[in-house]
Structure 1
Amino acid sequence: MAQLIVAIVAHTVLALAAMWGAAALWFRLPGTPFQRRLAVAGWGLVALVLVTLGFQGLWPASVVFLLLMVVLLTWWFRLRPTHDRAWSADVVHLATGEVCGDRLTLHHVRDFDWHTRDEAEEHWEERSYDLERLDSVDMIVSSWGRPGVAHVMISFGFEGERFVLFSVEVRRLKGERFSEIGGFFRQYELAIVAADERDAVGLRTKVRGERVSIYRLHMSRKAMRSLLLAYVDEANALVESPRFYNTITANCTTLIFDMARGIGARLPFDYRLLVTDRLPGYAFKVGGLWPGHSLPELEADGRIDERARQVHRAPDFSQQIREGVPGWESLKIDESEVVEERRGA
């Protein structure tokens, strides 16, 4: 009886390994979809035969299957991320930055005017920011109806006049769509994008119709500056050494968590770091959201997608979407300064 249980467990593991191998081939094997289907079908047939024969007591079949897995894993671990691929226009450039005294200069700040999910007027800029004026950090959470899944972006504000948003994203190829499952199988490289809020928030609200909320974070100015510079350091490092995106271990939430810990924040690990649409609840629990409000109040008052659709591409977009958001109730809009910033001041 014990031998039977061991055999069942062992061959269940082999079957799961065969399924993993099929997924790895589908998502990462070069070639056309038809060629990948043939490869996956061939792998599946061979694995099925060998695992079945092994379960029937023909141990050489299990040995052959294990040798095939060694070959597959050797190929898998030899895969390397690269910057040299035909990238989608929105991630063709990665953010980089440099600091000189209190002046931060960011290269390749994206400011697209999106018409559809795949079409936009493309514009990349170099922008400079006075770090002495940095006085706000916002967490922007966007969800699109999949349970447990959301995209998290961080926006840094300079006295309520200028904002720059950082988004950790998959670096997709031209015409490629995002797949959470593919994110487990090294299908994508990692990208850190710096963008104008009218681009990043407008894309998700106006074009994609997603639900978007803003939560102002409760941080000291020193911590704000440290987090911003951590983003710049991470972005610069990514340009030097490309990385694979991973749906669990290297995504929009885990990188923020790692950077926050890197600047000294004592943050406990929590399941909500993986269930990303629950991240506001985690931030509330650790005291990171704007004080004086309950979590339901922050969630209700921070919802900005409808307002963002109405003021899409307005010169004072960032100010208007924050009207009534906890922590931003007293925000004053000076349109002349916003227009001047738009012209590249």
Structure 2
Amino acid sequence: MDDEIRFVVYDKAGAFRRTVVPRLSTAEIPANSTPWAELTLDDDHDALPALTADGARCAYWFRGIEWFRGRVSATPGNGPVGSVTARVEGDFRKLTEWQGWPKPTASITAQDVDYARYTGSSEDVFKAALAANFARLGVPWTVAASLGRGSAARAEFRFHPLAEKTIPALDADDLIVTIGYAPNPVVDVRASALVPGLLSDLTGALEDYDWTRNAPSATRVVVGGAGEGAARELYQQIDTAREADWGDIIETFKDSRMADAGADFSIDAAEALAEGAPTVGVSMQLQESAKFRLGTTFLPGDRVRVKVGPLDLIERITLARVEDSPDQGVVVTPHLGSIEDSPDAQLGAQVAGLARGLRDAGRR
């Protein structure tokens, strides 16, 4: 298969400008987060006027597939006889920058409801929230019809980033966001595929990996809904199987005060118990093989069976890194899994959780 990497440059209105085949480039293509790429050119390259124009956009192509398209966000360079590096950020970033308004159909002075609330499957919630706010923004983005995939979900928006309230539920259901162009963005989701076979059989011996196994951090949850003090709605859910398996009781609390009175709090409870479930994880970087090839046998977000140490589990391919240099040619490195038991990772997760909590509090 053709391993050529090319960048297609557009202006801010989406009009084609030119195609560039760089001698040096790097890209990371993750699942359910923003992809990026960098290409390095001589500082007198004739593509620079198009790449450095205000609002310039670029598509990243590899193996005949357009993996993503987005803005040229930075173009640092050096001289006098030097180079320029153009960084491209995929359009997934807009899902973290665009917000869900309480009343998307009204002006900012007519936001007369507390929250926009969406219920249904995780796919339903994701697509309904996006469609409502794409219409509000007046952007030429469309959302594919929902197939109702995923588990029961609910999301409340009060100027929250769209991705913040919807992507975790998609991740939990192994649904992967896709953005296609026809020629304007079309957002859809696909089900994560299970790559046939055992990873070691697909890639050869696994020489360098880390794995971890952690006990649960919650076995039962109390959900606090609408109201204050003694008048607040409360709901409890207990994972009796987890308590029996581990011989332990671990309580947690889930703040769901944004929900309507009488809402189905089993959704919130299930989310809290999932966050507190026992974890088994493996982290490794892999090389491609004929049986394990980006764009042919797997996509970022697909899953593969792994047996390492005492573990036998299904793990997600979290991203693929594609590097192209004159010395090594094209090298594709899939990344598998993520271990979250280091102090830095735990601190990062705690800070992210606090930030979400502050956003919730600040928007009430």
- Could you tell me the TM-score, scaled by structure 2's length? 0.23
Q: Which has the higher contact order (CA 8 A, sep 6+)?
A: 1
- The answer to which structure has the higher helix fraction is 1
Structure (1/2) with the larger strand percentage: 2
Structure 1 length as normaliser, TM-score? 0.23
